[in-house]
Amino acid sequence: MPKSNDFFERVYDVVRLVPYGKVTTYGAIARALGAAKSARTVGYAMNAAHNLDDVPAHRVVNRVGLLTGKHHFGGINTMQQLLEAEGHIIVDDQINDFNNAFGEPKPIQ
């Protein structure tokens, strides 16, 4: 359960629950927080999270599995390398077999 009312912190709480080897989306996180129309704000939170060691920001992609946040990581291929280390295959900046890699976060308020 989120321990903060701050939206960014609530986003990070959800992302911390994304298991190794799975990914989720900005929209799925927004839905889990009961703010379905806030996917863009989730994106802003993720842009600010890449220096937080305890937030696996690389596991958040867009709704079709594109690595849209990759330019916020230290190197141009860092997000891809982190995902590949977890067993994902990336082709043209997109997770191959995205449907099996995707995990819908449980709703939390």
The residue range of the domain holding 83 is: 7-101
What value does the mean pLDDT of the chain take? 92
Is residue 13 assigned to a domain? yes
Compute CA distances 51 → 48, 54, 57, 74, whole Å: 7, 9, 9, 9
CATH code of the domain covering residue 32: 1.10.10.10
The answer to whether position 1 is within a domain reads no
Q: Is 37 inside a domain boundary?
A: yes
Q: How many domains does the chain have?
A: 1
> In this structure, is residue 108 part of a structural domain?
no
Statement: residue 99 has pLDDT above 60 = yes
Look at residue 28 and tell me whether its pLDDT is greater than 90: yes
The predicted pLDDT at position 12 comes to: 96
Closest CA to 22 of 78, 98, 79: 98
Q: What is the pLDDT of residue 74?
A: 82
Q: For 40-90, write each residue's pLDDT tens digit.
A: 999 999 999 978 999 999 999 999 999 999 988 888 899 999 999 999 999
The confidence band for 2, taking pLDDT boundaries of 50, 70 and 90, is very low
Does a structural domain hold residue 109?
A: no
